[in-house]
Amino acid sequence: MKSAFILIYVLLMGSLAGAQTDDLHLKQTSIAAKETDGRILSSKPWPPLPTFESLDDFGRGYFPRATYEEVRTQKEFAVLEITYASDGLAVHGLLIRPKAPGKRKWPAIIFNRGGNGDLGRITDNGQPCGGMANTSCLDVADLYLLAKAGFVIVASDYRYQGATVKRDEWGGVEVDDVLNLVPVLKSLDYVDPDRLYMLGLSRGGTETYLALKRGIPVKAAAVIGGVTDVKAWVESRPEMGIVNGNEFIDGFAHIWPDYEHRAEQEYRARSAVYWADQINVPVLILHSRTDRMVPVSQALRMAEALQEKGKVYALRIYERDGHALPLNRDDRNHMIIDWFSRAGQIGK
Q: What pLDDT digit, counting tens, does each position of 270-290 carry?
A: 999 999 999 999 999 999 999
The candidate with the shortest Cα–Cα distance to 295, out of 339, 347, 230, is 230
Tens digits of per-residue pLDDT, 122-134?
Answer: 998 778 888 888 8
- Whether 12 shows a pLDDT value over 60: the answer reads no
Q: Report the candidate in 67, 95, 102, 69 with the shortest Cα–Cα distance to residue 81.
A: 95
Query: Per mean pLDDT, which range of 19-23, 45-49, 255-259 is the poorest?
Result: 19-23
12 versus 87: which is more confidently predicted? 87
The percent of residues above 90 in pLDDT, for the chain, comes to 81
Q: How far is CA 161 from CA 96, 122, 127, 167, in A?
A: 22, 12, 15, 9
Amino acid letter for position 108: A
- Phi-psi group of 215: left, alpha or beta (phi > 0 → left; psi -120 to 50 → alpha; rest → beta): left
* Position with higher pLDDT, 14 vs 342: 342
What is the pTM assigned to this prediction? 0.90
pLDDT in tens, 213-255: 999 999 999 999 999 999 999 999 999 899 999 989 999 999 9
Residue 322 has pLDDT above 70, yes or no: yes
